[in-house]
Every structure is written in structure tokens, then in C-alpha cells.
Structure 1
Amino acid sequence: MNALDGLNVVDLSHAIAGPTCTNMLAELGADVIKIEPPQGDGFRHYTEHGGAPLLSIPFASINAGKRSVVLDLKTPAGIELLWQLVERADILVENFRPGVLARLGMDFAALHARNPRLILVSITGFGQSGPLADRGAYDHIAQAMSGFAMLNATADGPQKIGIPIIDGFTGYLATIGLLAALRRRDHRGVGEHVDVAMLDAALKLVNTTVSVHSYTGRTPGGTGNRGFRLVATSEFYPTAEGWIALGANNQPQVEALLRVLGHPEMIDDPRFASHEARVEHYVAVRQWLTETLAQWRAADLEARLADARVPVAMLRTVGEIAQHPHVRQRGTLHPVTLPDWDRPLDVVGPGFAVETQAQPMVPVLGADTDEVLAGLGLTASDLATLRQAGAIQ
């Protein structure tokens, strides 16, 4: 049995953050009905398409296992069909700007009146309240606003992370929030409104630096991903072949590192004697390590340091780690079926070990409209009338 078997989810979200949340729910067994406009989720139109139209790889990676229903919510009939689905749902997930649901007549009060057990999850850039609530946001906007980009500043200026890290993390926080709401519903019998903001998610990721500033008044940043911890034994270095990431943070790890490098005499060097000393002598320690590590191959050093219990990793590409035996053995990736493609697509699962799932299908736009609406009691004649009116495709 899957954890969320029997739960019905109506997914009004698009792009990344909301679909990441509903992807997690589908992974855990919920029946997720993805409501799309006639043109489809904009993420369907991204590059790297396969056989079926409007089925990009980025879209497939976070929408497998859902059912797609096309409704035109600009029509009264489309709104009425949405109401019928929502009245039978446990969860409604949306990532419109604040006020959009209200304009559709579906603010939380109206939803609660017609389905008291419904949990509404709203994902926005800045939340449902506050002076910035009406603003829109994308991942890099949240990185900029939250201090994230300034923490990563180099001599070239502020730097954004090259993947939509805030979008993804916001989706995971939304999942945690709604699971907590489900637990409360078990006790109280009624649903609630879960308010999730990308800015809040970004601040959660930089939480330690926020707390440092709160207590000391210092604002870490401008150190090229090093934050406020300038420790040369815990950074990236080039080697004679490849790059290596060292993670020697405490004294036993530092001493083990020096022994593996063939320089146990450096254990008595005052620059390596303590964390405080390594911070104070950052430049000298980094220079010494740069010169010493240049004599090693990254693969050899990774193996030796791992055996010595020092956290370490070669720098790998996504392609290299995706083929790593460890990732394959754990089942971190699993295949999904893409209609009309020549082979399944590997996607990352929920991020933790779960029972084996059936290979899910990535939904073609509107492929499940008739099946889902027939479940509401609509006949073939009803569906034909709705299509003629433009409410469905």
C-alpha cells in the first residue's frame, strides 16, 4: 500500500514549484488530476521534446503519474466542472497570484463551504499576505530577494544557482505543509489553507546566515559560496586530473587528510592546529593545499580519503553521477513511460526510499479528460456538448 492511496488531488499548478509538490503526492500514491488550459502547462513547451507534441523532458520529469484534464476556466461550464472535481477532492494545489482563485469564485471560504474537508495549498512568490504579496516571482527573483545571490557573489558580482533550487524546495515545503494539514484534518475533521511562499523557502535555505546576522549584525556573503565559513580544508580544488571536494571540518578529519597526503608533519604546524587557526590562516592553508593536491589524481584521492573517513567527492557531471553504481543500486532514479517515445525516461524519485512503484505514464495534454469527467457521471453526449461549447477539448 502506498502512503497516500485513496487521496484525490486537483492540481491547478503550473511550471515547477506547484508541480513538484503534486509530483511528490503522485509518487506517494495519490490520484493527481492535473487541470490544464487548452494550450497546456507552459512547461510542456520547453526544449528537448521527444515523440509526442507538448511533452518536453522538463515537464515529464515532474508530471509523471498524473492525469491530464483540459478545462477552459474562462467559460462558465469549465468553472462548473472544476467545482465538481473540487467537491470530491481532498487537496487542491494552485500557484496563481493571490486573488486569482477569488476572481474564479473559489477563495478558501467558498471552497470550505462546499467541501469542508478540502485542504487548499497556495504557492506564490511572496505569500498570501504582506506588502509584497501581489508581486510575481521566478526562481532567480527569489534568489535575488532573499540574499541567496549575494551569498554567492564573486569578483564578477552576485551569482545565481544554475538550477531552479528555490522552485524545487518550495514544492517540497508545500508537501510538508499539506501533510501536516492532513494530519490535523484527521483530528479535527476539517481542512485548512496552507500558504507557501518562494521567499520563505529561500530564507529557510539561508537560515544559518540569517541567524548569524540576527545575533552578530554581520552579513555573510561575497566569498564565492564560502559564506561565513572560510575554511580551506573544506573546499574545492583542482588536481592533476579532475577536481576534488574536501570536507575536513574537524581536527581528526584534518589530521587524517594530512596523513593521506603524505605530510603528517603538518599536523604540528600551528596553521592546522585548530578550526580558529585554519580560519585565521586561510590564504596560506589554501595555497599549501593547492600545491599539494596538484600532485594527485582526483579519483585516487577520493578513494584514499574515503577509506580514511574524511568526507570527500570528486566533482562529477550530472551524467556521471546518474550512471554511478550507488545511485543505480539505491533506485534513486526510476523510469517513466512517455507516449510515442523510443524508450522510457529516467527521473529522480521522491528523494527517499519508498516501496517500489509501478512505472508511471507522463500525461499527454488532455488525455484523461473523458475518463475523469465520466467519473463525475457525464455521458458521451454531455462531453460532446461541452466540447462544442469550448469548455473542454
Structure 2
Amino acid sequence: MTASVPLPLSGVLVADFGRVLAAPYATMLLADLGADVVKVEHPQTGDDTRAWGPPYAHGEATYFLSVNRNKRSVALDLRDADDRRRAGELARRADVLFENFRPGTLDRYGLGYEDVRARNPGIVYCSITGFGSGPGAALPGYDLLIQAVGGLMSVTGPAPGEPVKTGVALVDVLTGLHAAVGVLAALRHRDATGEGQRIEVDLLSTLLSSLVNQSAGYTLAGRVPGILGNRHPSIAPYEVFRAKDQPLVIAVGNDRQFAALCRGVGAPELAADPRFAGNADRVGHVDALADVLGELLADRTADEWFEHLTPLGVPCGPVNDLGQAFALAERLGLSPRVPVDGGDGDALDLVANPIKLSGTPPRYDRRPPRLGEHTGEITDWLDS
């Protein structure tokens, strides 16, 4: 890509009143694709995640750094009349506004959807909440809480009665992705009609949708799933086994792969065993199958099985830590890291945007902003 080629969202101004994770993740995705994202922060505290450490890099919380690149920060106190006027002017000029306050909060400052739309009819106004703007509006939208009440923890854990959360705030990330898709759809609609609209995305609805087959099993068949540990409710073998040195995942999705696995572990006869011949048979006899495979897989290391079984068409791999996962991505040529100028002579080693565009790839030309770093230039522009 040459410097003269505009990015897909060049010219799109995003007023980002979002905080913590779901909204900042969404706006970072838009910023990576060329949008001018102006992050509005409280002058004293800024985004909550600026204080969420350790770990730190260059004296800043890595949590904040992970979701705020390619943005500009303006420090505005909405309780101050001048700052409130500037925030309103930013909303008037913006193409998109993001916010994830409790419903009704921004209305008190003249920044609710109806107020902004009156001054800016083309605005795409995206509100992210925990439980919607109806009866659940007052409930706190914390990811762990959503994982609990939304059913994710009921299917996640080592055994029945031992629910666990995921190792990252996954519902926030999924909600941010859905919000970004909604904004892109609304911008497309505005391009065609000139009309803006409001987008509402809540964490609970996002989780219920993202539980996909588990949710559909309930809505279509009335089945309430439970904790299966690392197993799958509908296919087998699809779980973690213990290799000679560390855990190994086997993720067989069809009979052909199962036959290849049987040959690979030196037991081709298992593919013809009536207990394991078809997928439904294997699911019905999953404990017996796990016992047999467990004994066979214990003879080699996880990496040895990975090297041996993968060429046979068997989906498998060691349970990597993050360092090993990044090393694997690098060996596969996926370039998972991107150096971004830290502004102090050192580069921040950030995680790459996973979207690959052949003509207009994501940009990485602006570090996550320091609190209020661009206040002067932005307020001068808003006051002009």
C-alpha cells in the first residue's frame, strides 16, 4: 500500500466516550482501519484501565495499551460548562459516537442520542450496555458477572459443580466486535440514505448469541447443557489428553479424521470398533474412547504427536502458553506483533490487528495516547 491510498475508514470521525474494554476495543478496530478516533477522558483519572496494572510497559498499564492505539486523547470534564460545550461540539461534528455509560448518564449532559441527533441527524450513535436499556439498565455490566448469569460459566470448567470464567474478558471483546460490525452497517446505510441511527449492543445478548450451538440446543431442543470440561457435547474425540510431557489437544471432527488418528497412534482397528465407528457412537462411548486413546498418547511428547499426526490430517496440538503461541504464529508467518513508535525512542510491541486486507491493511502509526495528550489541538479545533 502506498501512502496515497486512503484507508477504508479515512475521513470517519469517531467521538469515543467509551471506557475499559468493549467500547475501546471496537473503536481501536475502527482506528486501525483509518478512522480518526478522539478518545474523551476525565482530566484526572482518564480511562479506568490506565490504573489496571501490573503489568506495565514504559510506566503504563499494558491493559490500557492493548486497546487504545491509533487514537487521540482529549481531557474533558463533562461537569464543566466549557468542556461540556466542547464535548457537544465534538458530537455534532462526528460521524460516529461510542458510549458505554449506564443508560441515561450522557442524557444529563446533553449528550444522549436524541440531543445529539437533533444537532447531527447523520450520527451513528452506538451504546454498549451490560443488560440493555430496559429493566436491566441499572445492573452493572461487568464481564465476570455476565459470564455467570449469561450461562457461559455453566458450560465452562473442569467438572460439574466447578464453573470457571474464561481467561480473558471474552464477552467484552465479543461485544466490541458486534458493536464495530453494527457501526459499519449503519455507516453503509447512511451512505445510501443520509440517515444516521442508534445502535444498542448489550453484553448479555451478545453472550447468548455467541454461545451458538449451546444456545441453539436450548432454544430448538430444550436442552440445558452442563459442564463437560474440555470435551465437546456433539463430537468425539475432542478434548485434552496427557502426552508424555504436557497436555495435548485432539480435535477430531469426522470419521475420516478419526480413522487417520487410529492409524497414527498404531491402532487402526479402533476405527472399526462398533463403539467408535461413527461420531454418534464415539460420543456415546466417550469415556471408553478417552481411556483407550489416553494410554496410546502417553508414549510420546506433545510436540512429537503434533509433528506425527498433523501430516496425517489429524487436528491436534500442544496446549501452549502465550509465549509459545506467539512463537507458533511467528513460525507460520502470521506476524502477530507490530512495533509502534512509543514516542520516547523505544517501540511498543503491540498485538497485530488480525484482519488482513490486501489493498488497505490496518495502520499502526499512532501509539496509545497519554491522558489528554491531544487536548490542546482538539480543543482549539472545537473552539474554532
- Matches of 2:177 and 2:233, distance apart in 1: 27
Partner of 1:351: 354
Q: How many angstroms does 1:122 deviate by?
A: 0.3
- Give, as a single letter, the amino acid of the residue that structure 1 aligns with 2:182: G
2:28 is equivalent to residue 26 of structure 1: no
Partner of 1:194: 199
- Matches of 1:157 and 1:296, distance apart in 2: 30
- Find the partner of 2:299 among 295, 302, 312: 295
- Matches of 1:215 and 1:376, distance apart in 2: 53
Write out aligned runs for 1:32-47 (5 A).
32-38=37-43, 39-47=45-53
Partner of 1:16: 21
Q: Secondary structure at the match of 1:272?
A: coil
Q: Which moved more, 1:94-103 or 1:266-275?
A: 266-275
- Matches of 1:225 and 1:344, distance apart in 2: 38
Write out aligned runs for 1:116-135 (5 A).
116-129=121-134, 131-135=135-139
- Matches of 1:328 and 1:138, distance apart in 2: 35
Q: Secondary structure at the match of 2:57?
A: coil
CA contact (8 A) 1:152 1:227 kept: no
Q: How many angstroms does 1:326 deviate by?
A: 4.1
2:103 is equivalent to residue 103 of structure 1: no
Q: How many angstroms does 1:318 deviate by?
A: 0.7
Q: How many angstroms does 1:225 deviate by?
A: 4.3
- CA deviation map 1:83-103 (0-9, x unaligned): 111111100000000001111
Q: Secondary structure at the match of 1:199?
A: helix
- Matches of 1:286 and 1:301, distance apart in 2: 16
Q: How many angstroms does 1:16 deviate by?
A: 0.4
- Give, as a single letter, the amino acid of the residue that structure 1 aligns with 2:121: P
Partner of 1:185: 190
**Percent identity between the two aligned chains:** 34
- Find the partner of 1:93 among 98, 101, 116: 98
Q: How many angstroms does 1:230 deviate by?
A: 6.0
- Give, as a single letter, the amino acid of the residue that structure 2 aligns with 1:247: A
- CA deviation map 1:236-265 (0-9, x unaligned): 111002221111121100000011111112
CA contact (8 A) 1:336 1:362 kept: no
Mark the runs of 5 or more structure 1 residues left unpaired by the alignment.
379-393
Task: Give the alignment's TM-score, normalised by structure 1.
Answer: 0.91
- Matches of 2:328 and 2:347, distance apart in 1: 19
Q: Secondary structure at the match of 1:235?
A: strand
Q: Structure 1's 223 and 274: CA in aligned 2 closer, same or farther, altered over 3 A?
A: same
CA contact (8 A) 2:73 2:369 kept: yes
Q: Structure 1's 168 and 183: CA in aligned 2 closer, same or farther, altered over 3 A?
A: same
2:369 is equivalent to residue 363 of structure 1: yes
- CA deviation map 1:342-364 (0-9, x unaligned): 74233223322132524321211
- Matches of 2:124 and 2:303, distance apart in 1: 50
- Matches of 1:270 and 1:127, distance apart in 2: 50
2:282 is equivalent to residue 278 of structure 1: yes
Write out aligned runs for 1:1-393 (5 A).
1-38=6-43, 39-47=45-53, 48-52=55-59, 55-129=60-134, 131-153=135-157, 154-155=159-160, 157-226=162-231, 228-229=233-234, 231=236, 233-324=237-328, 326=330, 329-340=333-344, 343-354=346-357, 355=361, 357-378=363-384
Q: Secondary structure at the match of 1:329?
A: coil
CA contact (8 A) 2:70 2:364 kept: no
- Matches of 1:227 and 1:245, distance apart in 2: 12
CA contact (8 A) 1:37 1:72 kept: yes
Task: List structure 1 segments (4+ residues) > 6 angstroms apart after TM superposition.
Answer: none
- Matches of 1:159 and 1:83, distance apart in 2: 42
- Matches of 2:35 and 2:78, distance apart in 1: 24
Q: Secondary structure at the match of 2:67?
A: helix
Q: Which moved more, 1:240-249 or 1:60-69?
A: 240-249
- CA deviation map 1:302-354 (0-9, x unaligned): 122210112112110111111225467223321223344x7423322332213
Q: How many angstroms does 1:183 deviate by?
A: 0.7
- Matches of 1:358 and 1:56, distance apart in 2: 19
Partner of 1:385: none
- Give, as a single letter, the amino acid of the residue that structure 1 aligns with 2:142: Y
Mark the runs of 5 or more structure 2 residues left unpaired by the alignment.
1-5
- Matches of 1:358 and 1:14, distance apart in 2: 21
Q: Secondary structure at the match of 1:330?
A: coil
- Give, as a single letter, the amino acid of the residue that structure 2 aligns with 1:186: D
- Give, as a single letter, the amino acid of the residue that structure 1 aligns with 2:56: H
> What's the C-alpha RMSD, in Å, of the aligned pairs?
1.7
- Give, as a single letter, the amino acid of the residue that structure 1 aligns with 2:122: R
- CA deviation map 1:122-177 (0-9, x unaligned): 00101223x21221111111111111000114245221112100011100000000
- CA deviation map 1:186-205 (0-9, x unaligned): 11102110001000111111
